[in-house]
C-alpha cells in the first residue's frame, strides 16, 4: 500500500532578506525514495535538506517541478490532504496539553472514534515507553521524551509517508542508541511507511537508512544505496559527508611523466590509480583503516596515537605528509613503523570528482 515518493526537477527560490532578489534553496533536484523503505537525505547544514522535506510535506510550494506520490502528481494537493506525517526538529508539540492529547490529535482530526483512539494511544504510549507520562503536560517532559512524543504523533495515524527532520539532534548518546532501536522497531511495523530521514550524521544514516540522497548547496550530489555511497562515492563532497574525523586527504598529487596511472607528491608519496588519468593535479582520500601496520610495508614515523573504537589510530608522518593509519597495538611516539595500503581509497581530480580508485600507495625513501 506504500508508495514511492519522488521529486522531479524541483527548484525552490524564495525572496531574500528585505525582499531583495531571490535565494535559491533547491536547484533542479530529482530523486525517488523507494516504497516502504527509509531514505536518508544527507547534507551539511544549510544544504536544503529540510527544504526538501517541506516540499514533500506541502509546507513549501516549489517554484518549479513536481512532487510525486507513486505515479500521482501531488504538487497542488494541500499539506493537510497529503497523508504525509512529519516529526519536526523543534518537535512542534501542542503546548499546554498532555502527552495523551498530543498523540490523540491526529486521530481525532481524522474522525477515529473515541474508543479506538484510546486503544491506539495506549498502544503507542507503550511502544514509546511513555505509559507513565500519559497525563503529563508536554512542558514537563525531558527533551528525549518530547522527541519520542513527536515521533509517536507522526506515526500514530499510520501515514503512507513519514518525514523525520533530524530526529536525533537533541538527544544525548545514550538516548540516541535507545531512539535508534525504537525507530527501527516503529518503522518495521506493517504497513511500513515510505520514510525520508533528514540528517547530517552518517552513523545515523547507516543505522536507519537503506537508500541515501546526498545534497549540498541545494544540488543533488549522489543517490544510491548506503553501500554504493560508501564504496562508489562520486565526489570528494560525498566522501566528506560520510567521512570519519580521521579521514585522510592527500592533496598536491601530480602525474609523473612515466605513466598515466602514477601520481606523486613533492615529498615522494606515490599513488597508483586504477585507471589512466587526465589532468595534472589530484587529491586522494581514504580512511585510516585503509593504511595498516605490516612487516613488508614502507616506513613512517609515529607522531601520536590514540585508541578509537578498539583499534589504535596512529598519526604518522610519511614523506612530509601527516596521515592517520591503524595499528594493532600501541606504538611509541617517535618510533618508525612499517605501513601497507590495503584500500579502499579514491582519487579525485581538481574539480573534486572521483576519477579512479587507489590501486597502490607507498612512499619512496629519499
Partner 1 sequence: MVRRAVATVILVVLVCIVLLPLAWIALSSFKSRLVLLASPPVLLFTPTLENYATAISSHGLISNVVVSTVVALVSSLVAVGLGYPAASALAPMTRPVGRHVLFLILTTRLVPAVALGLPLFHLYRELGLLDTVTGLTLAHSAFNLSFAVWMLVAFFKQLSPEIYQAAALDGLGPMAVARVLARPMRPAVLAVGLFCAVLSWDELFLGSILTTSAAQPLTVGVLGLITSQGTYWGQVCVFATVSLIPALAMGVLLRRASGALLSLGTLEMEERD
What residues make contact with partner 1 under the rule CB under 8 A? 57, 59, 78-80, 82, 84-86, 88, 90, 92-97, 105-106, 109-110, 139-143, 146, 153, 170
Minimum CB distance to partner 1 smaller for 59 or for 243: 59
Three-state SS across the chain?
Answer: CCCCEEEEEEEEEEECHHHCCEEEEEEEEEEEECCCCEEEEECCCCCCHHHHHHHHHCCCCCCEEEEEECCEECCCCCHHHCCEEEEECCECCCCCCEHHHHHHHHHHHCCCCHHHHHHHHHHHHHHHCCHHHCCCEHHHCCHHHHHHHHHHHHHCCCCCEEEEECCCCCCCHHHHHHHHHHHHHHHHCCCCCEEEEEECCHHHHHHHCCEEEEEECCEEEEEEEHHHHHHCCCEHHHHHHHCCCCCEEEEEEEECCCCCCEEECCCCEEEEECCCCCCCEEEEEECHHHEEEEEEEEEEEEEEEEEECCEEEEEEEECCEEEEEEECCCCCCCCEEEEEECCCEEEEECCCEEEEEEEEEEECCC
Minimum CB distance to partner 1 smaller for 98 or for 225: 98
CB 77 → partner 1: shortest distance, Å?
12
Nearest-10 Cα torsion for 76, 78, 84, 89? 110
CB 150 → partner 1: shortest distance, Å?
8
DSSP H/E element including 101: helix 99-109
CB 41 → partner 1: shortest distance, Å?
18
CB 64 → partner 1: shortest distance, Å?
19
| CB neighbourhood size of 54 (10 A) | 21
Minimum CB distance to partner 1 smaller for 21 or for 276: 21
Minimum CB distance to partner 1 smaller for 36 or for 98: 98
Minimum CB distance to partner 1 smaller for 105 or for 340: 105
Minimum CB distance to partner 1 smaller for 31 or for 88: 88
CB 19 → partner 1: shortest distance, Å?
11
Minimum CB distance to partner 1 smaller for 171 or for 313: 171
CB 336 → partner 1: shortest distance, Å?
48
CB 205 → partner 1: shortest distance, Å?
23
Q: Please report, in angstroms and rounded to a whole number, the separation of the first and last CA atoms in the chain.
A: 65
CB 79 → partner 1: shortest distance, Å?
5
Q: Which residue has the cell 516529526?
A: 87
- From 358, 330, 92, select the one nearest 248 (Cα to Cα): 358
CB 112 → partner 1: shortest distance, Å?
11
CB 31 → partner 1: shortest distance, Å?
21
214 and 229 Cβ atoms separated by less than 8 Å: yes
Minimum CB distance to partner 1 smaller for 82 or for 301: 82
Minimum CB distance to partner 1 smaller for 78 or for 334: 78
Minimum CB distance to partner 1 smaller for 59 or for 247: 59
Amino acid at each position: 500500500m506504500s508508495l514511492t515518493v519522488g521529486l522531479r526537477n524541483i527548484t525552490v527560490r524564495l525572496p531574500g532578506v528585505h525582499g531583495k532578489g531571490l535565494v535559491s534553496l533547491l536547484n533542479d533536484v530529482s530523486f525517488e525514495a523507494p516504497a516502504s523503505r527509509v531514505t536518508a537525505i544527507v547534507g551539511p547544514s544549510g544544504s536544503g535538506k529540510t527544504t526538501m522535506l517541506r516540499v514533500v510535506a506541502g509546507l513549501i510550494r516549489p517554484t518549479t517541478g513536481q512532487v510525486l506520490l507513486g505515479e500521482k502528481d501531488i504538487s497542488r494537493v494541500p499539506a493537510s490532504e497529503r497523508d504525509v506525517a512529519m516529526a519536526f526538529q523543534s518537535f512542534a508539540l501542542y503546548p499546554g496539553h498532555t502527552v495523551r492529547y498530543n498523540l490523540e490529535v491526529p486521530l481525532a482530526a481524522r474522525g477515529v472514534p473515541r474508543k479506538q483512539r484510546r486503544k491506539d494511544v495506549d498502544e503507542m504510549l507503550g511502544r514509546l515507553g511513555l505509559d507513565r507520562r500519559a497525563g503529563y503536560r508536554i512542558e514537563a517532559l525531558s527533551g528525549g521524551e518530547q522527541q519520542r512524543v513527536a515521533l509517536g504523533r507522526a506515526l500514530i495515524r499510520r501515514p503512507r509517508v513519514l518525514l523525520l527532520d533530524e530526529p536525533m539532534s537533541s538527544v544525548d548518546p545514550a538516548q540516541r542508541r535507545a531512539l535508534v532501536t525504537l525507530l527501527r522497531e516503529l518503522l518495521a511495523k506493517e504497513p511500513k511507511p515510505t520514510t525520508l530521514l533528514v540528517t547530517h550524521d552518517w552513523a545515523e544514516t547507516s543505522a536507519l537508512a537503506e537508500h541515501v540522497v546526498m545534497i549540498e548547496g541545494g544540488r543533488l550530489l549522489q543517490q544510491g544505496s548506503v553501500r554504493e555511497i560508501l564504496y562508489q562515492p562520486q565526489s570528494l563532497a560525498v566522501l566528506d559527508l560520510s567521512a570519519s574525523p580521521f579521514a585522510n586527504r592527500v592533496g598536491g598529487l601530480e602525474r609523473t611523466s612515466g605513466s598515466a596511472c602514477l601520481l606523486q607528491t613533492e615529498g615522494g608519496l606515490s599513488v597508483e590509480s586504477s585507471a589512466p588519468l587526465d589532468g595534472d593535479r589530484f587529491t586522494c582520500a581514504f580512511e585510516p583503516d585503509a593504511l595498516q601496520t605490516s612487516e613488508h610495508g614502507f616506513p613512517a614515523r609515529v607522531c601520536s596515537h590514540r585508541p578509537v573504537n578498539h583499534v589504535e589510530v596512529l598519526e604518522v608522518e610519511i614523506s612530509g605528509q601527516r596521515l592517520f593509519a591503524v595499528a594493532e597495538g600501541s606504538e611509541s611516539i617517535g618510533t618508525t613503523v612499517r605501513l601497507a595500503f590495503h584500500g579502499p581509497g579514491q582519487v579525485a581530480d581538481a574539480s573534486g570528482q572521483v576519477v579512479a580508485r587507489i590501486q597502490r600507495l607507498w612512499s619512496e625513501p629519499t
